[in-house]
Every structure is written in C-alpha cells, then in structure tokens.
Structure 1
C-alpha cells in the first residue's frame, strides 16, 4: 500500500497538472473570465484533492481486505476512476451552479465536460504515476508477467 506522503504527492501532482490544463479550457468554453473560472477551479481542485486522498486510501483498504494487495487490474482502474468522479460530482454540481449563476442542469452539462476530461486524464495520470512510482514488492506473481 502507498504511504501517506506518496498519496499526498499523487494528489497534489494530479490537481496541479489538471488545473493547468482545464482552467483556461473551461474559461473559454463557458465564456467566463479566467479569474472567475480560476477561483472556482481552485476551490474544486482543493475539494478534489481532499477527496482524492480519502478515496484512494479507502479504495486501497478495500482492495487489501478483499484481495490481499492494492495493485489494480484494468477493470478495477475503470471502477476506481468512475467512483471517484461520481463522489466528486455530488458536491461539485451545487457549487458550480451557484458560482456561475447557472441552473443545476447547465452545471451538470458543464461538469460532464470536466468529467470526460478528468476520466481520461485520471486514467492516464494514475497509470503513469504507478509506472514512475511503483508500489514496492506488492505485485502478485500472477500479474508480474
């Protein structure tokens, strides 16, 4: 299982790189000033960072309890990514709606764009992160080939 410091590095790196990519793009798509979208993006990023840390610890404990190790298969990575995004969506929608002065439906449509981006980004980021910072001595023999 990953250490607390490793999880913090993972979460901070994920959010920082994601913010650099998504904030200007969202500002342009929504027709909102960059500084206004930037404050929303920063808040959502901080929220997502906390959720990322908590969710990943919980997911690792679930895997260890049920399979004895925290290495994820491809299917588990897909479930992991969708579960993370669904949990974040519950809090993000009302905040986006209020901050941008749009309906919940409009916030949902905007958020679906964020979700589409972050699902692909999360999958790639987590895969690359695991390659750069592998979990030491935990890969089961059957999965090491």
Structure 2
C-alpha cells in the first residue's frame, strides 16, 4: 500500500479547507454581531479577512513547523508535547497577525480586540472539532473507513 492510498487527495483537502472556512464565516459573523453588537458589514469583512489569514497562516506555519521538526528530530512525528506546542504556537502566531487588524478595522482598543480574538479562538476550537468530525463522517478517507477495519 502506498502512502498516497491512505491519505486525502489534494482535491479533498481543498474542499475541506474551503467548506470549513466558508461555513465558519457564515456561523461566526452573525454570532459576533449578536455578542459584540458590531456592524454586520464590518464584521463580515473581519470574518473573511480572518479566515483568509488563518488559511494562509495554517499553510505557512505547518510548512515551517514540519521542516523545523524534521531538522531537529529527523522526523515529523509529533508527540503529545509537540502537538501542544504546535497548537499553542499556531494560535499565538495567528493572534500576532490578526490582532492588529481587528484593532484597526473594528476601531476598538487592544483589550477589546483581545476579547474579540479570544472569542473567535473559542468558537473555532469547538467548531473545528464538530466540523472535522462531521466531515470525516460524510467524506471518510480510505484509511479511516470501517471497511478497512478487520471484522
């Protein structure tokens, strides 16, 4: 069995990323408008820019992280400790990039922008868990499907 036989295709990964971000914006923007009382138009732009930044950062960060990990350890295998470092580093990097935009675009102070950013982080943590579970159920990859498990 080749490695590519058990992994998602590029087309599937693009479908997953686009559907994740599109649905995320559709759900998070009205929620942010309701919770924070922001203008829908400005919040929509915030959501779209945030999703675009997150997608670009995800690609760049994972590329850098995996290359650094391979250089340091000889492998891209991630222990629990490494996964925690990865998750927190990813969110910290996104915070550094997105926070100035939130402050500027929404014309709010740094503390309020932090609250908004942490609210988006909390939303996306729960949303990512639910979305990925649903996506994997609707579009299982060959390696994860029940038909590959011995009876």
Superposition TM-score, scaled by structure 1 size: 0.72
Distance 1:87 1:123, change over 3 A: farther
Unaligned runs of 5+ in 1: none
SS of alignment partner, residue 32 of structure 1: coil
Cα separation, 2, equivalents of 1:127 and 1:52: 19
Residues 1:24 and 2:30 aligned together: yes
> Which of 9, 12, 20 does residue 3 from structure 1 map onto?
9
* Larger mean Cα displacement after TM superposition, 74-83 or 92-101: 74-83
RMSD, aligned α-carbons = 3.7
Deviations 1:106-130 (A, max 9, x none): 1111111111111011111122222
Number of the residue aligned with 1:128? 134
Cα separation, 2, equivalents of 1:128 and 1:55: 25
Larger-Rg structure: 2
Cα separation, 2, equivalents of 1:18 and 1:26: 12
Unaligned runs of 5+ in 2: 1-6
Superposition TM-score, scaled by structure 2 size: 0.69
Deviation at 1:96, TM superposition (A): 0.1
SS of alignment partner, residue 141 of structure 2: coil
Number of the residue aligned with 2:49? 43
8 Å contact 1:81–1:123 — kept in the other structure? no
Deviations 1:41-66 (A, max 9, x none): 11112222323445566778879x44
**How many pairs are equivalent?**
138
